[in-house]
Amino acid sequence: MIIICKPEATDEQIGHIEDAIRTWGLKPHTSRGVERTIIGVIGPEDLIREKPLAAFPGVASVTPVMKPYKLTSYDFTHKRTVIDVGGVKIGDQKKVVLISGPCSVESREQILEIAKIVKKAGATVLRGGAFKPRTSPYTFQGLGIEGLKLLAEARAATGLPVITELMDTKDVEVVEQYADIIQIGARNMQNFSLLKEVGRCKKPAMLKRGMAATIKDVLLSAEYILSEGNMNVMLCERGIRTFETYTRNTLDLSAVPAFKKESHLPVIVDPTHGAGHRELIPTMALAAVAAGADGIMVEVHNDPEAALSDGEQAMLPDKFEALVAQMRAVAAAIGKTI
**What are the CA-CA distances from residue 158 to residues 119, 120, 146 (Å)?**
7, 10, 19
Say what the pLDDT of residue 139 is. 73
Same domain, 50 and 97: no
**Residue 20 belongs to what domain range?**
2-64
Using the predicted structure, report yes or no on whether residue 76 has a pLDDT greater than 90.
no
CATH value at residue 281: 3.20.20.70
pLDDT tens figures, 169-184: 999 999 999 999 999 9
Q: What pLDDT band is residue 333 in, cutting at 50, 70 and 90?
A: very high
Same domain, 188 and 113: yes
CATH value at residue 14: 3.30.70.1140
Using the predicted structure, report yes or no on whether residue 129 has a pLDDT greater than 90.
yes
Instruction: Give the angle subtended at the CA of 87 by the CAs of 82 and 91, to the nearest 5°.
Output: 20
Same domain, 36 and 137: no
Q: What pLDDT band is residue 138 in, cutting at 50, 70 and 90?
A: low
Instruction: Work out how many domains the chain is built from and give that number.
Output: 2
Query: What span, in angstroms and rounded, lies between the C-alpha atoms of 136 and 27?
Result: 42
Residue 103 contacts residue 139 (beta carbons within 8 Å): no
Using the predicted structure, report yes or no on whether residue 294 has a pLDDT greater than 90.
yes
Beta strands in 212-294 (DSSP E): 233-237, 267-269
Residue 126, sorted as left (phi over 0), alpha (psi -120 to 50) or beta, turns out to be: beta
